[in-house]
Chains A and B, each alone.
Chain A
C-alpha cells in the first residue's frame, strides 16, 4: 500500500523525469527486504510470539528465548529505513518538483495527504527504530533498557512504541482519506468543499498525533495528571478529523452523484469511519478506556477505522485509478457485489465486538469459558469474517477478469478533474508528452469545460 503514492504522485504532479528514482528503488527494496526478514522468522525456528506491539519485558530474551523477536527487530528496522527513505523521496518530490502553475494550494488532496503522511513517517519511525535498537541491545548485548531488575523500565518501550504507533494510525488512514477526497468530488461533479479546511485539518492532525500516544497507556498507571492531558489531546484530534467528514458530505450536497463502485466505497468509508471515530472518542475518555482497553471493544474500534476506513478507501481508489493503471475499467457488476458483501461482512464481523468488549471479553485470547455467554456474538463475527473473505475473493476475481477482458477505459472515463486523466491509460513512461498547464485546482476540468471553469 505504501508504494502506491509513488506511482500516483508521479502523475498528479507532472514532471517528465523523476530524478530521485534510485531513491525510490532503495526505498522499495529495503521495505521488501524488511518484510522478507520478518516472514523468514517462520522458517528460521519460530515467528515472533510477543504480539505486533512486542511489549517489553515479554520480548526480552528471558521470556522470548527464540529468534522470532530478533527477526522482528531487524525486519522492522530495515523496513522502517525503507519507509523513511520513501517518505523523504515523496516529501521532496511534492515540495520541489511540481510543474509550472501547480502551487502547493492547488495540488490534489491525495498529494496533500501523501505529504502529511510522509512527515508523520519521518517523525514517528525513528522513535520505533530507537526502541528496536534498545531491545536489540537488551537481547543481544546484555543491556537493561526495559529490565527493571537491571535499572531499566518496562514502560519505556511503550512510550517509544506508541510515539510511533499512534502517528502510524494516521499514516495508514490519511492516504485513504486522500483517495476519497479525489473520488467524491469527481462523482459529485463538484469541487471539493473547503479545500483549505481538508488540507489544513490534516496539518492539525499531524501536529496533534505526536502528542496523544499515552492514550494507549491509560491503564499503565502514569497518573491522573498525565492521563488527563493525553485525554484532552486525544479529544482535540477528533475535531480536525470530524471537519473532514463534514466537508465530504458538503461536497456531495448540491452535486449530481454518480454512484459508481468507486463512489460506493468512498461513501462507505464515510459511513463506517464515523463509527470508528466516535468509538475512538469514547476511548479518549479515561474511565471508559480503563474499562474497555485491551478488550474486544478496541478490536471493533480499530477495525472500523482500518477496515471501514482505510480498506474501503483503498478499494475506492482501486476502482477509480484501475483504468488509469491498466487501460481497462474494473468491472462494475462484480464491483457492486464486492462492495455489498464487504459492507455487510465488515459490520457483521466488527459490530458485535463492541458488545463483547463491553461485557468483558479481552483481546488476544484463544479461548474463553462457555458460561461467559460470548459464544453467539463470536459466531456472528465468524460468519461476518467468512463473508468478508468472499468479498476479497470477488475483488481478486474482478481484477483478473477486468485485466483480461475489461471494458477499454480511454484516457478519462470518469470526466475527472486532475491531470493524470489527461494522459493515456496506462500512462507513457514519462507520464506526459508535454508538460500540461495548470491554472487551478481542477486543471483538466477547466480545459474540458472552459465555460464552467473554477473562479481561481
Chain B
C-alpha cells in the first residue's frame, strides 16, 4: 500500500491555511525588511525610546495565549471564539498601548508595525475557520518574535 500521505496533502482547509500563511509571510517580510533598511535613519530604538521590559512581559502574555492552544483539541464553539477574541483584544490593546505610549513624539515608522501586526490578529485571526485558527495564532506569534528581535533586541546595543 501507499504510505500515509501527510495531512496537508489530504485536508483542504489545512492546505488552504498553510498557503495563506506562506503568502502572509511575504507581507510581513516586506515590512520587516523596510524597518531594517531604515534602522540607520534614526528610528526609535530600544536603547533610546522603546520600553523593552514592559513589551517583553506583554510578549509573554501573548505566547501564553498561544500555548493554551497547543495540546488538546480546540473546540471552536462560539464561546471559545469570544474567548479567543478577548485574549486577542487584550494583548493587542496592551501592545498597541505600549507602542503609542513609548513614542508619542512622532508616529514614525516603527509604530506602524504594531498597527499592522495587530490588525492582522483581528482581521484574519478572527475570521479563520474553526480549528485552524490556532495555526494562524502561532504564525502571528512567530511574526512577533521576529519583530521583537529586530525592533527591540536588535536595537538594544
Contact = CB atoms under 8 A, between A and B. Distances in A.
| Co-assembled chains A and B | yes
Interface of A: 19-20, 23, 84, 88-89, 91-92, 95-97, 122-123, 125-127, 129-131, 133-134, 137, 141-145, 150-153, 156, 160, 163
B16 A23 contact: yes
B107 A133 contact: no
**Which of the four size classes fits the interface of chain B?**
20 to 34
A141 B26 CA distance: 23
Contact of A88 (B10, B19, B41): B19
19 contacts: A84-B20, A88-B19, A91-B19, A95-B15, A96-B12, A96-B15, A122-B22, A126-B24, A126-B27, A129-B27, A130-B27, A130-B34, A131-B30, A133-B112, A134-B112, A143-B108, A151-B108, A151-B109, A160-B30
Nearest to B106: A142
Contacts of B116: 133
Interface in B8-41: 9-10, 12, 15-16, 19-20, 22-28, 30-31, 34, 37-38, 41
B43 A151 contact: yes
B16 A130 contact: no
A97 B9 CA distance: 11
A60 to B, nearest CB: 14
B15 A145 contact: no
B42 interface: yes
B111 interface: yes
Contacts of A126: 23-27, 30
Contacts of B15: 92, 95-96
Contacts of B38: 145, 151-153
A145 B109 contact: yes
B115 interface: yes
Given A20-B16, A130-B31, A143 B26 contact: no
A163 B30 CA distance: 10
Nearest to A119: B19
In the A-B complex, the 3 residue pairs with the smallest Cβ-Cβ separation, listed nearest first, are: A151-B41, A126-B27, A130-B30
Contact of B16 (A88, A137, A144): A88
A97 B25 CA distance: 26
Contacts of A156: 34, 37
Interface in B97-142: 106-109, 111-112, 115-116
Given A122-B19, A127-B30, 20 more contacts: A19-B12, A20-B16, A23-B16, A88-B19, A88-B23, A91-B19, A126-B24, A126-B27, A126-B30, A127-B26, A129-B27, A130-B34, A133-B112, A137-B112, A142-B107, A143-B108, A145-B109, A151-B41, A151-B43, A152-B41
A258 to B, nearest CB: 39
Contacts of A89: 16
A141 B107 contact: yes
Contacts of B25: 126
A152 B109 CA distance: 9
Nearest to A134: B34
A126 B23 CA distance: 7
